[in-house]
Structure 1
Amino acid sequence: MSEAIWDSFIETMLAPGLALVDPEHRIYEEEYRKFLLRNITHGDQLNEIDGYYLLPGFEPESARYAYDNFEFKQGDVIISTYPKTGTTWMTAIVQNILYIRDPKFLEQASKISLFFSYMEFGPVSKYRVTENLKVPRRFFGTHLPEPLVNTKKIRKSGAKVIYMMRNPKDRAVSWYNFVQSLPMSSHKALEPIFPKDMRTFLDVCFSGKQKSFAKDGEGYFECLKEWYKHNSEENFRIVVYEELKMNPHAEIKKIADFLDEKLTDEEVNKIVENTSFTAMKQRAEAGGTQRKGGMQMFRTGNIGGWKNHLTVAQSELVDRKFKEVLGDTDIEFIYE
């Protein structure tokens, strides 16, 4: 990705969020730009917090601030995901559910980037903006493992958590393609955990040696198990990527009901239209967050594409690891 493209991308990361706060809360704007330039284009080291590893840009200090200091409140929505399980899609759906009756604000809110909405992304100073965003209902995202999120504080506040779950084989293929579009994939220091060769990449991924939002030797299954223990709690809901893909109207209605937002059938239809894969990809390309030679947030979004990429041995390895880690749960994945 060229320097000019990254400069434009960084602008799209910052400008929409900064536009939703008063001028006195924008004092660290230059610091934010330097942070993004340093971590997105040049970041070549994983960050570590309590034995868990985070990608460049995802900061232990910000994660700790969110855990210890940030105050959640009634009406807040936290979208928790492991990377490439439908994060961007669920964020768009939640935004539409919350703001569908205010199209102008929906357009503004949909441009708020992970820099200001993800609890652990960016420097702690970004909370000067995050805590003062002028939004009627706040939404946040996180890739953090459950032990690093203050779920007790969230539950007590009355905020609600949506956890997105996707079959691990399609997730891994999507993860490979996404990582290859990031500058960090070209850094030699990270080459052992993010190889260019797809088969080798998937081997590392499935072996638990990628150390992405997990401990060394662990990965998606372990993170899913940690979050799944909240499944029976009133403020927590798991959404299955494949079920949402196959029946978006019914699933979006369930999500809206969970968030205490009563939608008409017409509004549900509009949200389905707004958050279709095609519509979101077109908006990302038009808005500069996805472009040729840059970060690829959207590829196909289909179910079952893993069959064209995983070897039989890799598929069987995933099945074995599923039984080892999640065999004592009632979790079932949809693979096609």
Structure 2
Amino acid sequence: MFCFYECSFTERSMLHEVQTTSTDTDDDLSSNNYKRYSTAEMDLEKIKGIWRKYVMEVAPLLPEDSSEILERCYEGLVEVGSPPKTPSVWKDYILFPAFEAETAEYSYDNFIPKDGDVLVASYPKTGTTWTSEIIRQLLYHNDPELIKKSRGFNQFYNYLEYGPVCKYEAVKAAKLDRKCFGTHLPSNLVNLKRFKKIIYLICNPKDQLVSWFNFVKTHPYDFFPKDERAFYDLLIAGKQGFFGKPGEGYLEHVKDWYQHKNDENVMFLVFEDIKQNHAEKIKELAAFINVKVADKEISEIVHNTSFNSMKKDAENREVEKDEGMIMFRKGEIGDWKNHLTVAQSEEIDRKVEEILGDTNINFTYKWCS
């Protein structure tokens, strides 16, 4: 989901608070008590090298004379992403580091997608990378060259709010008839009317929480404790949340997008349903985004987007191997039982009822036989 990087750091035990302020507003978020849980010593030059690979990966999709555009993209990413980083804020919503308020606002006001473009919206660690890969395979399955080249339209470019505004030069220039975009923004920060096809993805909040811990512990934006139980307690209590207002987290994000569940251009998708009915859900996605695909091709996409295939592919890709991020861990339903205490699980159940009790959402917490 994030185009981050491998970090090399030495944790220090001293805990110190940081007052989080907006990059483009005067909002004071100190009441949300955001903290930094360690001070990191990082190999910034190595980080920059990985970022450069990510930025340059789109080159085969751009005109030959695009070197200046790519250099601006790289320099912009270094400027907005280099740690230590204070989260930016737009309309009181706190964005995760390197997801930029200025870029989100530019996207809302200025970016006009093509009618055939697809947007995958989600909260982090709900199956976004997997779903986006399914969409990519569907869009380009008849063109082996584009299947290869379209990888370069990676998370740096396709997340609406990620990185610097200048990346939109490359986004617009990329030679793809249809593009798959992503976002972690709440619905009111996305110009919904401009996208003809939007997929909103959810998964059960217990597995999401475990996956989020295993993801963020590998990068240097140190807004979370490294202790697993402390991490769960903190987020269950509604602290240190991102892509929401102070005190909000994943469940509020779901509630926000739920109001668009029946919009003509929106499809609500459940991660656990894809896991348990892979081929059927690919057919539904193909129909929603207006892609004709034969049963044989469905079988190929099922294979190409299986957890094991995608994990192996990520391990073999130079950029993702260097990045060192845990994009694919287990891909299981119910792994939360190996991590959460009974009390933590029960508190999540209580919050689900409190926040989502007036919806028809029923999360799946285990495999259905």
So what's the TM-score if we normalise by structure 1? 0.92
Q: Does 1:161 align with 2:202?
A: no
- SS at 2:176's partner residue? coil
In structure 2, distance between residues paired with 1:296 and 1:128:
29
In the alignment, which of 308, 329, 336 is matched to residue 278 of structure 1?
A: 308
Per the TM alignment, residue 177 of structure 1 is displaced from its structure 2 partner at its CA by: 0.4
Q: Is 1:67–1:150's contact at 8 Å kept on the other side of the alignment?
A: yes
**Corresponding residue number in structure 2 for 1:269:** 299
In structure 2, distance between residues paired with 1:8 and 1:287:
15
What number of residue pairs does the alignment pair up?
A: 325
In the alignment, which of 93, 100, 116 is matched to residue 52 of structure 1?
A: 93
Per the TM alignment, residue 72 of structure 1 is displaced from its structure 2 partner at its CA by: 2.1
Alignment of 1:69-218 (within 5 A): 69-154=110-195, 159-185=196-222, 190=223, 194-218=224-248
Per the TM alignment, residue 42 of structure 1 is displaced from its structure 2 partner at its CA by: 1.5
- SS at 1:78's partner residue? strand
**Corresponding residue number in structure 2 for 1:320:** 350
Per the TM alignment, residue 230 of structure 1 is displaced from its structure 2 partner at its CA by: 1.2
Q: Is 2:50–2:323's contact at 8 Å kept on the other side of the alignment?
A: no
Per the TM alignment, residue 247 of structure 1 is displaced from its structure 2 partner at its CA by: 1.2
Per the TM alignment, residue 331 of structure 1 is displaced from its structure 2 partner at its CA by: 0.5
Per the TM alignment, residue 38 of structure 1 is displaced from its structure 2 partner at its CA by: 4.7
Pair 210,200 (structure 1): closer, same or farther in 2 beyond 3 Å: same
Q: Does 1:248 align with 2:285?
A: no
After alignment, is 108-117 or 98-107 more displaced?
108-117
In structure 2, distance between residues paired with 1:284 and 1:175:
18
Q: Which runs of 5+ in 2 are unaligned?
A: 1-6, 9-42
Q: Does 1:258 align with 2:295?
A: no
Per the TM alignment, residue 110 of structure 1 is displaced from its structure 2 partner at its CA by: 2.3
**Corresponding residue number in structure 1 for 2:108:** 67
After alignment, is 118-127 or 145-154 more displaced?
145-154
In structure 1, distance between residues paired with 2:289 and 2:359:
26
In structure 2, distance between residues paired with 1:59 and 1:259:
28
In structure 2, distance between residues paired with 1:124 and 1:7:
18
After alignment, is 322-331 or 290-299 more displaced?
290-299
**Corresponding residue number in structure 1 for 2:17:** none
CA displacement, residues 239-274 of structure 1 (integer Å, 9 cap, x when unaligned):
110010111001101100111112111100111111
In the alignment, which of 37, 60, 63 is matched to residue 19 of structure 1?
A: 60
Per the TM alignment, residue 33 of structure 1 is displaced from its structure 2 partner at its CA by: 2.4
In structure 2, distance between residues paired with 1:47 and 1:84:
20
In structure 1, distance between residues paired with 2:84 and 2:146:
33
In structure 2, distance between residues paired with 1:35 and 1:206:
34
Per the TM alignment, residue 176 of structure 1 is displaced from its structure 2 partner at its CA by: 0.2
**Corresponding residue number in structure 1 for 2:39:** none
Amino acid of the structure 1 residue aligned with 2:102? E
Pair 209,100 (structure 1): closer, same or farther in 2 beyond 3 Å: same
Q: Is 2:186–2:256's contact at 8 Å kept on the other side of the alignment?
A: yes
Q: Is 2:59–2:152's contact at 8 Å kept on the other side of the alignment?
A: no
In structure 1, distance between residues paired with 2:343 and 2:216:
23
- SS at 1:214's partner residue? coil
In structure 2, distance between residues paired with 1:44 and 1:203:
24
Q: Is 1:57–1:122's contact at 8 Å kept on the other side of the alignment?
A: yes
Q: Does 1:229 align with 2:259?
A: yes
Per the TM alignment, residue 23 of structure 1 is displaced from its structure 2 partner at its CA by: 4.1
RMSD: 1.7
Q: Is 1:5–1:294's contact at 8 Å kept on the other side of the alignment?
A: no
- SS at 2:314's partner residue? helix
Give the structure with the higher percent helix. 1
Q: Is 1:213–1:219's contact at 8 Å kept on the other side of the alignment?
A: yes
So what's the TM-score if we normalise by structure 2? 0.84
Pair 276,8 (structure 1): closer, same or farther in 2 beyond 3 Å: farther
Pair 57,9 (structure 1): closer, same or farther in 2 beyond 3 Å: same
